[in-house]
Amino acid sequence: MALLLTALLGFLAKSAYAANRPTVDTTSGPVTGLVNRTTPNVAQFLGIPFAETPTGSLRFLPPKAKSRVNHIDATRFGHSCPQAEPAAPNVWSVDAPNFVIPANTTGEDCLVVNVWAPSKHSSSKQLLPVIVWIHGGGFQTGGGNIPYHDPSLWIERSQKHIVISINYRLNIFGFPNAAGLKDGERNVGLLDLRLGMEWIKANIVNFGGDPRRINLWGQSAGAIAVDYYNFAYPKDPIAQSYIMNSGSALLPIGSVDPQHTNFTFVASYFGCSGTPEAELACFQKVPFADITSFLKTYNDAGTTPALSFSPVVDERTKFSNYTARALAGDFSKRPAIMGTVVNEGESFLPYDQANGPNITLAQGFTLNFFLCPVVKTVSNRYAESVPTWRYLYAGNFSNISPQKWEGAYHQAELPLIFGTHDITDKRSTKFEYAVSHKMQDYWFAFASDPVKGLPKLGWEKYTPKGEAVLVGQEGVVSQPIKESALEAPCDGQVGKPGAVPPGASPPS
């Protein structure tokens, strides 16, 4: 009887969902979250550290797993990783600031996960599918506390899945490419994501999640990171499926600096020089806010030489030959959803609120940086008989895209999936809710069953002569679109000269 009582008390300690302060045991220590009035059926565990704070001698180095502590207050977001928004106005900062992290919320103690789960699920024996979210931001900005990326309302509606976001180091802190680092350890931001996934695998059961149904989902740089991960861990991906919005490993982004001059340039500004080891040790002592301030001032001024701190090819976390690897079957071969939005490129060109960007340039950007790399990635996956479902998003809602020229710009679909499209003063339409629910249902069905889930909803996997889904166009929630129509503007992974992206209007 005593042994039975001890076991029972241990179980309750691991998963004790109190009314407003649920507590769950983890490898980092017991975490106490919250349940609020806005989403009373969602337990939120915010800012749980999965790694030691990467400061001092740990800065710029691969992450170190968090040592267990006695208690973690998980009732508020932790810091987002050090970053600085550019001074130049853009679509997100001017028209949709809910895509931007709140001011004064960054710090190096940022390697945390946020967990959202049904608050009344802990007593159930049926483990739930898990969707792990990786934010975008060009590997320069972003974090887990972006208002539009909060899944609470989605889980309040669903009650059948868990969402977890992982913070990872960005810009020079995540991709230092310093000479004093070992080969294969210069993209520490990507290594952060792997450690985060390992933490989730070890702990998700205690939150009611199924470790056999972990879906890894990212958008933009987050989608690129997901595909990098797909190739980096072919035999032990932890994830059983992937969702990649507006990005793949073929998207042309990254730093090329074999001499490590970018890191040395910034380090020398702060008086750090000498051997690579001495340079690194010295730079680890500079306050992070000083580094971020310098980079912001330098980049906002357009000073040359330009500085770049993005993933570098290291043949461990980022490879030089993705198509060759794909066609050799050297990736994890898990099912995936992949797709883009109609007006990807408009938000990347100089912001002109009255007139919008040059349409020809914007459409070329859409093809070369988003649509065609995804087209090629899907083709490579099909050649290896790996199931892939493709979509095109065309929703145009004034509370997300207030300017007439914006339409379905880069990221515009995310508030529909997260269910946050209605958090602004301008209310959502019935059609917007219908599109949101359809996308949520697609994502949930796929996470629940990556092979059979979407066909049950009428969305068939990719074949060259088949159909993708077109979401949110001109009053139709979801409709078929020929795969050939998505591929027609592309020549391999680049756009054909003068081609127009599918769903877009020709330049006038």
Q: Which of 79, 149, 241, 344 is catalytic?
A: 344
Catalytic pick from 121, 161, 410, 421? 410
User: What region, left, alpha or beta, does residue 215 occupy, with left being phi > 0 and alpha being psi -120 to 50 degrees?
Assistant: beta
> Alpha-carbon distance 35 to 21, whole Å?
7
Q: Position 311: which residue type? A: P
Number of CB atoms found within 10 A of residue 328's CB:
10
- Tell me the CB-side half-sphere exposure of residue 351, using CA atoms within 13 A: 14
CA within 13 Å, CB half, 227: 30
Instruction: With beta carbons less than 8 A apart as the criterion, state whether 66 and 26 touch.
Output: no
Please report the sign of the dihedral spanned by the C-alpha atoms of residue 149, residue 152, residue 158, residue 161: positive
The SS3 of residue 164 is strand
* Parallel, antiparallel or unpaired: strands 490-491 and 476-482: unpaired
Q: Are strands 31-32 and 23-24 parallel, antiparallel or unpaired?
A: antiparallel
First-residue to last-residue Cα distance in the chain: 81
**Cα–Cα dist 225/278, whole Å:** 31
Number of H helices, E strands in the chain: 15, 16
- Compute the C-alpha angle 388/334/248, nearest 5°: 65
The owner of tokens 């900005």 is: 141
Q: Is 410 in the active site?
A: yes
* Residue 279 to residue 490: CA distance in whole angstroms: 45
Radius of gyration for the chain, computed over Cα atoms and rounded to the nearest angstrom: 22
- Say if CB 363 and CB 504 are below 8 A apart: yes
- Burial classification of residue 385, based on how many CB atoms lie within 10 Å of its CB (0-12 exposed, 13-18 middle, 19 or more buried): exposed
Catalytic-labelled residue, pool 220, 308, 332, 379: 220
Can you say how many angstroms the Cα of residue 211 is from the centroid of all Cα atoms in its chain?
20
220 in catalytic set: yes
CA distances from 438 to 413, 417, 435, 443, 499 (A): 12, 9, 5, 9, 30
CA–CA separation, 159 vs 121, rounded Å? 8
Enter the tokens of residue 295: 């980079």
- Alpha-carbon distance of 204 to 386, in angstroms, equals 27
Q: Rounded to the nearest 5°, which phi and psi values hold at 41?
A: -110, 20
**Residues with catalytic function:** 220, 344, 410
